Amino acid sequence: MNLNLIKKSLSNPLALIGFLIILFIFFVAIFAPLLSTYDPDAIDVKAILLPPSFEHLMGTDGLGRDVFSRMLYGARISLLVGFVAVGISTFIGILLGAISGFYRGWIDIVIMRMVDVMLSIPTFFLILAVIAFLSPSILNIMIVIGLTSWMGVTRLVRAEFLSLRDREFVLGAQTLGANDLRLIFIHLLPNSLTPIIVSSVLGVASAVLVESGLSFLGLGVQPPQASWGNILTDGKEYIQFAWWLSFFPGLAILITVLGYNLFGEGLRDALDPRKAK
């Protein structure tokens, strides 16, 4: 992604807001140990379900743990899962999409039927089914989300390769003796990266949402490790008189997903030739 693309996308006020949100979440995740005033796993039976105050900015939970500290460390988990899962899905999508769009023919038919089959299965229920057979852990969640969300990238890369496959610069390189790997990775893939980046940015938002949903259902990140989803799970037991346990993690998930979506839409608009100035 070049600097001009970023500047053009940030000329959109909503995209700029999304970018600033992403930077803020990154700052919080990186400097969580410095920003946290308490150990996120420290239990204090004398401070159970305290409301937000100067001492505990976001209150405490049913075990007396500081919610603000747990929210800070939860940001790390959400971003880690989002980026690793998207990395896995993007790698698979680029590989299959490149093979499908470059070779076409029966290879294209087989890969596209695989995509159709995967798309016919509700992704979240597929993830639930797979997680049910595995022990819930951060590693398993990242792998499962990545292995069940590559279909959109595959179709995108295939479409880009089909549109570029017969262009003059590709035919010229082929005439000069370039092999298939060189054509794919040197000539075709670099010219297909920008829409893939947009898809990846939007994919992080989806991955964060899926991880939060799994953790909320008890199939994601396991206590005592903090994640926004399992903080929400704790909050449902006390929702009538401890509103902060549901409000703050829910708000964090909303803002994070909104930030990635706004920035992703800004990138998409910047790449749209019909809106080019």
Per residue of the chain (277 residues), give pLDDT as tens: 555 666 666 777 888 898 999 999 999 999 999 998 898 888 888 888 999 999 999 999 988 999 999 999 999 888 888 899 999 999 999 999 999 999 988 999 999 999 999 888 887 888 887 777 777 778 888 888 899 889 999 999 999 999 888 888 888 888 888 788 888 888 888 888 888 888 898 899 889 888 888 888 888 788 778 889 888 888 888 888 889 999 999 999 999 999 999 988 888 877 665 554 4
The token pair at 236 is 């449902």
Q: Which residues contact 25 (CB under 8 A, 6 or more apart)?
A: 75, 79, 255, 256, 259
Q: How far apart are CA 247 and CA 126, in angstroms?
A: 29
Give the per-residue pLDDT at 272.
Answer: 62
H-type alpha helices, the chain:
3-10, 13-30, 32-35, 67-103, 105-119, 123-132, 138-147, 151-164, 168-175, 180-182, 193-216, 228-236, 244-271
CATH number of the structural domain spanning residue 160:
1.10.3720.10
The token pair at 19 is 């970018």
Q: Is residue 242 part of a domain?
A: yes
Q: Is residue 162 part of a domain?
A: yes
Q: List the Cα angle 73/66/255 in 5-degree steps.
A: 50
Q: Is residue 198 part of a domain?
A: yes
The answer to whether 220 touches 136, Cβ cutoff 8 Å, is yes
Q: Is residue 92 part of a domain?
A: yes
Q: How far apart are CA 223 and CA 231, in angstroms?
A: 9
The answer to whether 19 touches 263, Cβ cutoff 8 Å, is yes
Q: How far apart are CA 152 and CA 118, in angstroms?
A: 10
Q: How far apart are CA 160 and CA 110, in angstroms?
A: 18
Question: How many domains in the chain?
Answer: 1
Q: Is residue 42 part of a domain?
A: no
Q: Is residue 224 part of a domain?
A: yes
Q: Is residue 214 part of a domain?
A: yes
Q: List the Cα angle 135/32/207 in 5-degree steps.
A: 45
The answer to whether 48 touches 237, Cβ cutoff 8 Å, is no
Residues spanned by the domain of 104: 75-275
Three-state secondary structure readout of 61-74? CCCCCEHHHHHHHH
Q: Is residue 18 part of a domain?
A: no
